[in-house]
Amino acid sequence: MEIKNNGNHDVNYGLIARKTIENLFDTFQTSKKGLSEGQAIRARNEYGDNKISYGKKTPFFIEMVKAYITPFTLVLIGLGITSFITDVVIAAPEERDFFGSCIIFAMVLISGTMTLIQSVRSNQAAEKLKSLVKVTATVKRKNKYDEIPMEEIVCGDIVKLSAGDMIPADIRLIATKDLFISQSALTGESYPVEKRSEAIITQNHSETSYENMVYMGSNVISGSAEGVVIGTGNRTLFGNVAGSLSSKPIQTSFETGIRKTSFLFIKFMALMAPTVIVINGFTKGDWMEAFLFGLSVAVGLTPEMLPMIVTTNLVKGATAMAKKGTVIKNLNSIQNFGAIDVLCTDKTGTLTQDKIILEYHLDLSGEEDDRVLRHAYLNSYYQTGLKNLLDVAIIDAAKEELDTKEIRYKKVDEIPFDFERRRMSVVVEDTSGKTQMITKGAIEEMLSISSFVDFRGTVTELTDEVRQEILKKVSELNEDGLRVIGVAQKTNPSVVGEFSVADESEMVLIGYLAFLDPPKETTKQALETLKTHGVGVKVLTGDNVLVTQSVCKQVGLGTEKLISGEDITNISDQELSHLVEKYNVFVKLNPHQKQQITRVLRENGHTVGFLGDGINDAPAMKAADVGISVDTAVDIAKESADVILLEKDLMILERGIISGRETFGNIMKYIKATASSNFGNMFSVLVASTFLPFLPMLPLQILFLNLIYDISCVSIPWDHMDREYLDEPKRWEASSIGKFMIWLGPTSSVFDITTYLLMYFVICPAVIGGEFHTLTPAQQVAFIAVFHAGWFVESLWSQTLVLHALRTPKIPFIQSRGSFIMTAITSLGIAVGTVLPFTNFGQSLGLAALPTDYWLWLAATTVSYLALVTIVKRFYIHRYKELL
């Protein structure tokens, strides 16, 4: 038996599709009368409920712990405790200050809360599936049809389907009449597909290609059917989609970057802090003071405001992108958005308009002919059955191109569509009493009932030669991705009683109708723009080869080779990893294959975005670094997405990618500039601690210096990026931060050390009146205060101004200038730090007023420092090919 106990084994669709109806009934212990209540209970026990399970939910408490306890928040918590100890516990009562520790713990709270919100949101996609399947179905139980909730359906139930129904489970058909199913949400196919119970299945295909199977998540366009339920709940194809959505989310490149960056700072702290403690303990003799100073060095090494800077950047980026038609659901996805180097997209509705249109109405010589459109309009307009997408396209085209108000006919009779004939006819009468039978349908069937052809108004006999010419023309249209049907007519058909199929004979074939799901007008330009910005596009669609080839040609992908889902069904991931790099267009894919290709691309080192709008796209969107959907998508696709476009337009996507890169660039400005300058400062402290007879800066001074600097950095999200930076995808590489620190950090140490020498041997002796070792204890305290003030101001100036030097590969202030907001706020920060030694608050921090000649030395030091940074920056860019 193919299905076992409560869904522990998958449905073998191929085997079931090839069973006879009798064997099918035996397999599921059912019959044409349906199940009895007892049989239904046994089936439910054996095969399980028709409910989608969404995986074992993680308790909220565990989600909360994971959100608040991460490597980075642990660093912040440690810094917060350190700040609390230095500012509160060991501080004198009148000097206790909760401000620094409160800020740090607030950052932990903000960062953790945002993570928790995103964790809760990630489960909403699977929950949304429930609202899609809250329907009833017509089920035969004890030889009587009844409407029952979909959840109560079991394997073996006989289900009746009719136009408009949602398929409530996976079903093997046992009787059909003119059944057309829309599988676009499940497979991506543009057109409805015909299903028939009597189809002969000779070999295995992809599950959705079996003509005698229908699947949960699709719906009936027209016709009716009966079938046996062969898969419920988790064992349906739809259930597999739900299962993939409830799985653990992938770790994106942004999350990996944050994690690696956190560990990088931890490594530097673990190396520098103990070294500083040991050196100062031995040289100064006060181990407690050395310990507190070492902890303050650890604080100084870490960009405490990183969570706030990152969050501010992301929020500002999300706001800017919303104005450009892009809604960001997951803030962390903004960086990933800018890092995308491969965009995988479904074809239907993303590259195309997701609307079947009548592209051509041609006479038999291949020329546009309104007469063909008029006859097709009469056929579609006057039929009483459910009008399918092709009928709607014909009627829409006629209203645009013809004066339909002047077409005055009355309907006489009709011969409905059925699968065997693959055509339908109407008989209409005009105002003069002339009647016409108008038939449209598949070309082969139309040729079989036509005895004549109409070439430009001349009716001639349909010969074999003419038949071959017609088939050749239709084949050419098919190769262009067009679906072609024929139109024929017969004037004043004679009939006794009602018209019947027998009257569809000796028709005159007058022309073709060619349909297409056309590409959007902006698609070609968007693909070219994405390419210029370093983003490769891969088409992953469930549609067929001919339609996909046609669309690809029209949007500029005409030279691409295609590979189908059947070709990759049984290959290994290693083989697939080569194929995904070689091919850019994949057709006839099922949802699992889309997900598999997306995953393999990520494993190959790409940052992958997936743009889709159907149920069949949801697993791939979940597997991508960035899941992208549109506002008109099905709920499950929107809930799976990180980013939602308010219009199905790739140009909006391109603008979003640029905004993502700008946001990421501003984050990198803060991290790299701050990490390198902090590293340089702490390296300077290490050197000074070895030779100075006192601490080069007090712990409280280091913390306050960092506070002024970090507040200045709040302006970075309002800065802009050089245009050249936005041309290529940007990945978060933690290793590049370490290289940047080692290369650019010591540049500040050069001038820190010159400042030490200047303050210790020149300025402080001149202000106080002697060298340090010759002074009284009171004079030494004054000497140290002037020294601390000199290095405090120099460190603030160099650390803040270097932001402007490191924000661009160009010459700062000349070739590239920061935004007005960034320039104003960083200038204000420098001004506050500069006047601080002259204030009572500054003196309470252990700083003293600086002499006039200090400022000349400071100006020379700052200019020299920025010049050296610019030179080293050039060497760094030459070596590593990038700055940020």
Q: What is the 3-state secondary structure (H, E, C) of 196-207?
A: CCCCCCCCCCCH
Q: How far apart are CA 257 and CA 252, in angstroms?
A: 9
The confidence score (pLDDT) of residue 6 equals 38
pLDDT value at position 72?
57
What is the pLDDT, as a whole number, of residue 251? 63
> Which amino acid would we find at residue 786?
V
Low-confidence ranges of the chain (pLDDT < 50): 1-9, 118, 122-134
d(CA 673, CA 20): 72
Decide: 452 and 408 in contact? Cβ < 8 Å: no
- What pLDDT is attached to residue 487? 94
Q: What kind of architecture, by CATH, is found in domain 250-308+658-880?
A: Up-down Bundle (1.20)
Domain locations in the chain? 5-51+134-241, 250-308+658-880, 326-352+520-646, 357-516
Give the count of beta carbons closer than 10 Å to the beta carbon of residue 289.
Answer: 16
pLDDT at 116: 65
Q: Reply yes or no on whether 752 is catalytic.
A: no
pLDDT at 882: 81
Contact (Cβ atoms closer than 8 angstroms) between residue 262 and residue 75? yes
**For residue 228, what pLDDT is reported?**
92
CA distance to 219, 481, 562, 584, 863, per residue, from 558 (Å): 33, 12, 10, 11, 56
CATH classification for the domain delimited by 357-516, as one of 3.40.1110.10, 3.40.50.10240, 2.60.120.10, 3.40.50.720: 3.40.1110.10
Q: Residues 6 or more apart from 840 whose CB is under 8 A from it?
A: none
3-state secondary structure of 324: coil
Q: Which of 255, 261, 305 is nearest to 118 (CA)?
A: 255
121-176 pLDDT, tens digit each: 544 443 443 444 346 788 988 888 888 888 889 999 999 988 767 788 899 999 88
DSSP string, 352-383: B-SS-EEEEEEETTS-B-HHHHHHHHHHHHH-
Closest to 80 (Cα-Cα) out of 105, 50, 62: 105
Q: Do residues 286 and 270 make contact, with C-beta atoms less than 8 angstroms apart?
A: no
Select which of 157, 165, 170, 346 is catalytic: 346
* Alpha helices per DSSP H over 96-247: 99-122, 124-132, 184-187, 237-245
Supply the CATH classification number for the domain 5-51+134-241: 2.70.150.10
- The CA-atom distances, in angstroms, between 174 and each of 44, 143, 592 are 22, 16, 28
Token pair 């139109």: residue: 487
The label of the residue with tokens 């969404």 reads 54
CATH assignment of 326-352+520-646, among 3.10.20.70, 3.40.50.300, 3.40.50.1000, 3.40.50.1970: 3.40.50.1000
Q: Provide the pLDDT for residue 8.
A: 40
For the chain, the first-to-last Cα distance in angstroms comes to 60
Do the strands 357-363 and 435-442 form a parallel or antiparallel pair, or are they unpaired? unpaired
